[in-house]
Chain A
Amino acid sequence: MGSTEKRLTEPVSRHPPGSGAADLALIKRVQQGDKSAFDLLVVKYQHKILKLIMRYVRDSSEALDVAQEAFLKAYRAAPSFRGESAFYTWLYRIAINTAKNHLVAAGRRPAHYNLDTQDPEQAETLADLRDLDTPEGIAQAEEIRAAVNRAISDLPEELRTAILLREIEGMSYEEIAQTMECPVGTVRSRIFRAREAIDREIAPLL
């Protein structure tokens, strides 16, 4: 377990978000008209896209409008997505262009011209989404967060380590297996059982 703790404290290279097979499979379903597949992509990336847009548009309601427009453009452009880049990279460019077009239409300059629009990772950190908060929303999010933390702390250590390596460190199952010195199948099972335990806590809240 000592090696696991070492890996937890030392950042490892994360997989680029949206580069995986799940996104490609989902976007293929979207291309066939499956709107529920697109809903999963929205849930997965809405936070990143909103954070990105709020670097350009400071007002939270405007940011929501721009994010909605960006996702709509992505949905309508889905048939033209060929998988040459990761889905999130493609979505990121759409969101950047939508935000810029929004500012041009409003006669304003973007807040951050020096943003590297080709690097999705760069845009993830600085924006602040606190303006989007409402008292009810804050309370609900806090409730969910507390339930997740409570469930995590109640997990057996091997389950807790597996899910944290996956969700926080972004490791693949193979990497976690090497770190925890167990088979990949065991990692998959541990992560699944951890999610099940947490899900039992948060499902009543949603």
Chain B
Amino acid sequence: MTEQISDQISAFIDDELPDEESAFLLRRFERDADARNRALRYTMIGAALRDELLPDHTVLRRRLAIALTGAPLPAQRAPARWRSRYLRPLVGVGIAASVAVAAIVGLRALNDTRVGAAGPAAAPLQTRAVDAPPSYVVPQEVADAPIVQPAVRLTNYVVHHSEYASRLSRTSLRSNVVGAAEIVPATPPPPPPPPFQRGTTPE
């Protein structure tokens, strides 16, 4: 701001500026916040010298600005605008993210709890399977769970069946696999016949 403008402001608040210059200055006030603020400070200097300074010199202006325009004073408008334009969406995104994270963590915790609850029952199964001699029979105590019960019955049936069924009757792959280890021939198989030799006649 030029010194000339400041000088005009000083004369204006003293009622000593010619009308045409006053009109020019007032038009400037509308677009020049620095000039406006300078006029406000010059007015406050007079109030301070006359001991007319209000303790909070902005409270009435703030209230009037809100009442007249629905917005705070220009100096305070920027933070408010920032709050409404940027902070509000950020808060919304933050809340949505928090809900999503809480949901994920909650679901994980729930799953961990279920696995943990099933763990003590499943762990002996796994340990027994490693430590015990190889067996394809699902332990009966573990078979209490209704979901796995049909499989246990089926497996036991297949195993028992394989013990009695002949090798030729094992048509399914599973029967062959399950029954192969248990089948022990009662007598050693006869030695294979000697290879045929030319010039000899078989007996």
- Please give the residue numbers on chain A whose beta carbons come within 8 Å of chain B beta carbons, in ascending order: 15, 20-23, 25-26, 29, 34-40, 42-44, 46-48, 50, 64, 67-68, 71-72, 75, 129, 132-134, 136-138, 140-141, 144-145, 148, 152, 163-164, 166-168, 172-173, 188-189, 191-192, 195-196, 198-199, 202-203, 206
16 further A-B pairs in the complex, CB-CB below 8 A; given A145-B48, A152-B49, A191-B10:
A20-B15, A22-B15, A25-B19, A40-B40, A42-B61, A43-B61, A75-B64, A137-B56, A141-B53, A141-B57, A145-B53, A166-B14, A167-B46, A195-B10, A199-B45, A202-B41
B55 in contact with A72 (CB, 8 Å): no
Q: 19 A-B Cβ contacts within 8 A?
A: A21-B15, A22-B22, A23-B15, A29-B30, A34-B26, A39-B36, A46-B54, A47-B54, A68-B60, A75-B68, A129-B55, A137-B56, A141-B54, A144-B44, A164-B49, A166-B14, A172-B15, A189-B7, A196-B6
Chain A residue numbers with a CB within 8 Å of B69 are 35
A47 in contact with B53 (CB, 8 Å): yes
Chain A residue numbers with a CB within 8 Å of B41 are 199, 202-203, 206
A47 vs B51: C-alpha distance in the bound complex, in angstroms? 10
In the complex, what's the smallest C-beta–C-beta distance from B60 to chain A, in angstroms? 5
Chain A residue numbers with a CB within 8 Å of B39 are 40
- Please give the residue numbers on chain B whose beta carbons come within 8 Å of chain A beta carbons, in ascending order: 6-7, 10-17, 19, 22-23, 26, 29-30, 36, 38-57, 59-61, 63-65, 67-69, 73
Q: A68-B67, A196-B6 are in contact. Are A129 and B54 (CB under 8 A)?
A: yes
B63 in contact with A64 (CB, 8 Å): yes
Chain B residue numbers with a CB within 8 Å of A166 are 14
A35 vs B26: C-alpha distance in the bound complex, in angstroms? 11
A138 in contact with B55 (CB, 8 Å): yes
A173 vs B13: C-alpha distance in the bound complex, in angstroms? 12
A137 in contact with B55 (CB, 8 Å): yes
Chain A residue numbers with a CB within 8 Å of B57 are 43, 46, 141
A23 vs B13: C-alpha distance in the bound complex, in angstroms? 9
A91 vs B64: C-alpha distance in the bound complex, in angstroms? 15
B42 in contact with A199 (CB, 8 Å): yes
B30 in contact with A42 (CB, 8 Å): no
In the complex, what's the smallest C-beta–C-beta distance from A196 to chain B, in angstroms? 7
B56 in contact with A40 (CB, 8 Å): no
B60 in contact with A50 (CB, 8 Å): yes
In the complex, what's the smallest C-beta–C-beta distance from A116 to chain B, in angstroms? 21
Pick the contact of B60: A15, A64, A192, A206 (CB < 8 A): A64
A42 vs B44: C-alpha distance in the bound complex, in angstroms? 12
Q: Residue on B with the closest CB to A196?
A: B6
Q: Residue on A with the closest CB to B74?
A: A36
In the complex, what's the smallest C-beta–C-beta distance from A205 to chain B, in angstroms? 10
Chain A residue numbers with a CB within 8 Å of B6 are 192, 196
